[in-house]
Amino acid sequence: MLSSEKFLEKVAGAPADVLDKTIDTSRKFSEIFVSKKHLGQARQYWKSLGPGLTTGAADDDPSGITTYSQTGAKYGFNLLWLAGFTFPLMAVVQEMCARLGLVTGRGLAANIRQYYPKWVLYTATMLLFAANTLNIGADLGAMAQATRLLLPHISFNTLILGFTIITLALQIFTTYEKYAKYLKWLALVLLSYVFSALTINNINWGEVIQKAIIPTIVFSKDQIFIITAVLGTTISPYLFFWPTSQEVEEQILGGKTTLKLRQEETTPQEVKNMRTDVWSGMFLSNLVMFFIIAAAAATLHVSGITNISTAAQAAEALRPIAGERTYLLFALGIIGTGMLAVPILAGSASYAISESFGWKFGLYRRLREANAFYGIIIIATGIGLGINFLGFDTIKVLIYTAVFNGLIAPVILVLIVLMSGNAKIMGRWTNGKITKLLGWLIVGLMTLAGVATIISLFT
């Protein structure tokens, strides 16, 4: 065996081409090692993502897409600052919800049931159910319309019935482990909006950055209405219930008990992983929101199209302006996000009602083990399906659903801030000073926006 000195002597005396090959091989090996290391880190990061990622992705449902598209079409880049403004607020709310589920081992409705009067619980649950069924109907309709842009020979009724059956089958007949993975991968469809915006050639990125940093607001009736819609579809009540219940499902999947408070059992690493998951999901959600507004502003607004009727119309309107590729990505994004959001809307409503009445619940259970839980999912989705046959204007359903979410959000937000800040419930995992401050700031802003919207409607 050669010593290191003799090895160096041999290498030093080797021909130049051999030295070059040796160095090149060493460099390639180093690159492979580094890439494998980075790949391993990426895999570990992806593995750590779960309820937070799917919650953030579900926020950009067809209702959200329509609201953001309408914002960009009507006001251009002027309201782009909302994406950066809502990001920390949204993330703080979702972190409080997820932490509540992680520490208590109970969903949001189950915690409200434990610590507040029944009338508070039933009010919050019924408001959520009403908002969610409207949202399901709007999303199913938008998915069917978007599909008809790609497959016009298939009827709207056939498509909407097909989407309803598929979303129900995924929830009822797949295991939670598979279902969670499906939701996680489907979240990546949101990147289509980023790609679609980047394929548009005439975006003035200097103006985009300026409008994203410097808030521009005109206190008009229409703008107050659309800002409330943006807040309502971004900080939506159904997203309060979903991550809390999913943290419980994740614990059950990991073999942990959820029958008692987990204050002492909850580890700093679990909280850290949860926060990484939540902030990653919220960043993805607001990134997509940013690019949808930017794409609509750079295409529809500059072309004089300031009013759209559906998320599908937003996609169709992009075709002659931004090109076939952008239009196709946008349309596929509507279908994909709808497939992600509808099960979460129905599921969060069912979690809330089942927890409120003490029924057996959970996607990890089979149909025969939780009939009532899956029954609510079927009823909520069925009502959403039926809404599409009542002749309502789709854009009004989508936008008004977003506004309705904005009006009821403060009611539930108050309970979330109070419970996540209660030491008896959370132990050492209560809200910090900054989280508490931001929590009450969000309550105040959502209340102010809701009151301003109601006043504007009657003046």
From the DSSP assignment, how many helices (H) and strands (E) are in the chain? 20, 0
Cα distance between residue 30 and residue 36, in whole Å: 10
Element (H, E) at 12: helix 4-12
The tens place of each residue's pLDDT in the chain, 459 residues long, gives 444 444 334 434 444 444 344 445 445 444 544 455 566 666 665 555 666 677 777 777 887 888 888 899 899 999 999 999 989 988 899 899 889 888 888 888 888 988 889 898 898 898 889 888 988 988 898 888 888 888 889 999 999 999 999 889 888 887 656 666 666 666 667 777 787 778 777 788 888 899 999 888 877 878 887 888 788 778 878 778 877 776 777 666 565 554 455 667 778 888 888 888 888 888 888 998 998 898 888 888 888 888 876 667 677 766 666 667 667 777 777 888 888 888 888 988 998 999 898 888 877 788 888 899 999 999 999 999 998 888 776 666 666 766 777 777 888 899 999 999 998 888 888 998 999 999 999 899 888 877 877 776 666
**Cα three-residue angle 256-257-259, rounded to 5 degrees:** 160
How is residue 11 written in tokens? 């290498």
Helix (H, G, I), strand (E, B) or coil at 245: helix
All structural domains of the chain, each given as residue ranges with its CATH number in brackets, are 61-457 (1.20.1740.10)
With beta carbons less than 8 A apart as the criterion, state whether 390 and 133 touch: no
Cα distance between residue 360 and residue 61, in whole Å: 28
CB neighbour list of residue 375: distance below 8 Å, 6 or more residues apart: none
How is residue 374 written in tokens? 């899956």
User: What is the DSSP track for 178-227?
Assistant: HHHHHHHHHGGGGHHHHHHHHT-TT--HHHHHHHHHS------HHHHHHH
What is the pLDDT, as a whole number, of residue 1? 44
What is the pLDDT, as a whole number, of residue 253? 59
Cα distance between residue 302 and residue 246, in whole Å: 42
What is the pLDDT, as a whole number, of residue 61? 81
